[in-house]
Amino acid sequence: MQFDTLIIGAGAAGLMCATQAQGRILVIDHAKAPGEKIRISGGGRCNFTNLNIQPDRFLSNNPHFHKSALSRYTQWDFINLVEKHKIAYHEKTLGQLFCDISAKQIITMLLDELDARGAELWINTRLTALNKTDQGFALNLEREGQRYAISCRNLVIACGGKSIPKMGATGLAYDIAAQFQMNVTRTRPALVPLTFEPERFKPLAGIAIEARVSNAKTSFDEAVLFTHRGLSGPAILQLSSYWEETEAFEIDLFPNSSIYEALRAQRQQKGARNVSTILAGFMPARLSDFIVQDLGLTGNLADQSDKALHALARQLHAWQLRPAGSEGYRTAEVTLGGVDTNGLSSKTMMSKTVSGLYFIGEAVDVTGWLGGYNFQWAWSSGWAAGQAITHQPEAPR
List, for residues 240-271, the tens digit of each pLDDT value.
Answer: 999 999 899 999 999 999 999 999 898 888 88
- Asked whether the predicted pLDDT for residue 392 surpasses 90, the reply is no
> Do 201 and 299 belong to one domain?
yes
Pair 338, 374 in one domain: yes
Q: Name the packing angle between helices 12-20 and 104-117 (round to 10°).
A: 30
Report the percent of the chain where pLDDT is more than 70.
99
Residues 6+ apart with CB under 8 A from 76: none
The predicted structure's pLDDT at residue 394: 65
H or E element: which one contains 231? strand 230-232
pTM of the model: 0.95
- In this predicted structure, the answer to whether residue 393 has a pLDDT above a threshold of 90 is no
- Above 90 in pLDDT, residue 275? no
pLDDT confidence tier of residue 125, bands split at 50, 70 and 90: very high
Task: Specify the pLDDT at position 395.
Answer: 56
Phi then psi dihedrals of residue 234, to 5 deg: -55, -45
pLDDT at residue 350 greater than cutoff 70: yes
Domain boundary among the residues 273, 301, 326 is at 326
**Within a domain: 362:** yes
pLDDT number for residue 168 = 84
Euclidean distance between CA atoms 264 and 231, whole angstroms: 30
Are 38 and 333 spatial neighbours (Cβ–Cβ below 8 Å)? no
Q: Is residue 396 part of a domain?
A: no
Same domain, 313 and 373: no
CATH number of the CATH domain containing 16 = 3.50.50.60
Spatial CB neighbours of 328, under 8 Å, sequence gap ≥ 6: 189, 192
Residue 199 sits in the same domain as residue 60: no
pLDDT band, very low/low/confident/very high, at 220 (cuts 50, 70, 90): very high
Q: 61 and 171 share a domain?
A: yes
User: Are 243 and 272 within one domain?
Assistant: yes
Confidence label for 112 from pLDDT (cuts 50, 70 and 90) = very high
pLDDT above 90: percentage of residues in the chain: 84
Task: Look at 258-272, 286-300, 332-346 and tell me which has the smallest mean pLDDT.
Answer: 286-300
Looking at every residue in the chain, the average pLDDT score rounds to 95
Last residue of a domain, one of 274, 294, 326: 326
Q: Measure the CA–CA gap between 212 and 256, rounded to whole angstroms.
A: 9
Is the same domain home to 356 and 261?
no
Q: What is the pLDDT of residue 190?
A: 98
Tell me whether residue 259 is in a domain.
yes
Non-local CB neighbours of 285 within 8 Å, separated by 6+ positions: none
Residue 93, domain member (yes or no): yes
CA distances from 263 to 70, 267, 291, 299, 335 (A): 47, 6, 15, 14, 43
Residue 31 lies in a domain: yes
Residue 253 lies in a domain: yes
Position 308 scores a pLDDT of: 85
Same domain, 25 and 165: yes
Q: Give the domain range for residue 235.
A: 193-326
**Measured distance between the N- and C-terminal CA atoms of the chain, rounded to whole angstroms:** 18
Q: In this structure, is the dihedral angle defined by the CA atoms of residues 349, 339, 9 and 243, taken in order, positive or negative?
A: negative
Question: Same domain for 33 and 139?
Answer: yes
Q: Are residues 151 and 279 in the same domain?
A: no
Where is the domain boundary, 292, 307, 326? 326
Q: Is residue 395 part of a domain?
A: no
Does the structure show a pLDDT above 60 at 396? no
Residue 204 sits in a domain of what CATH number?
A: 2.40.30.10
Instruction: State how many domains the chain has.
Output: 2
Residue 81 included in any domain: yes
Express each pLDDT in 144-163 by its tens digit.
Answer: 999 999 999 999 999 999 99
DSSP codes of every residue in 328-386: GGGT-SEEE--B-GGGB-TTT-BBSSSTTEEE-GGGBS-EEPTTTHHHHHHHHHHHHHH
State residue 119's pLDDT score: 97
The dihedral through the CA atoms of 330, 336, 337, 341 has a sign that is positive
What is the gyration radius of the CA atoms in the chain, in angstroms? 25
Same domain, 144 and 61: yes
Same structural domain, 154 and 197: no
- The pLDDT of 221-249, averaged and rounded, is 96
